[in-house]
């Protein structure tokens, strides 16, 4: 491995630890998997009457 690859691996591991810790602090104890975000985006794209809304797909993190 080159040094840059090792640094990226260290950053990824640190981000994973931080992400895992933040999940524990959410109300639902879940993260925001890409599937959930995609479902929300699809819903918004298909809903012609929704405009200018803030929809948090964060497992309740914004409430804690």
Summarised one tens digit per residue, pLDDT across range 51-62 is 888 888 888 877
Task: Please report, rounded to a whole number, the percentage of residues in the chain having pLDDT higher than 70.
Answer: 77
Per-residue pLDDT, 9? 54
Give the separation between CA 32 and CA 55, rounded to whole angstroms: 12
Domain span holding position 42: 3-63
From residue 63, how far is each of 3, 9, 31, 50 by CA, in Å? 40, 31, 14, 22
Q: How many domains does the chain have?
A: 1
pLDDT-derived band at 48, boundaries 50, 70, 90 = confident
What is the model's pTM?
Answer: 0.58
| 55 touches 40 (CB < 8 A) | yes
Sign of CA dihedral 47, 61, 11, 5: negative
Task: Please report, rounded to a whole number, the percentage of residues in the chain having pLDDT higher than 90.
Answer: 5
């Amino acid at each position: 491995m080159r040094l840059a690859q090792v640094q990226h691996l260290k950053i990824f591991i640190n981000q994973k630890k931080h992400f895992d810790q933040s999940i524990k602090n959410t109300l639902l104890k879940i993260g925001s998997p890409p599937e959930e975000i995609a479902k929300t985006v699809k819903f918004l794209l298909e809903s012609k009457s929704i405009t200018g809304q803030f929809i948090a797909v964060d497992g309740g993190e914004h409430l804690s």
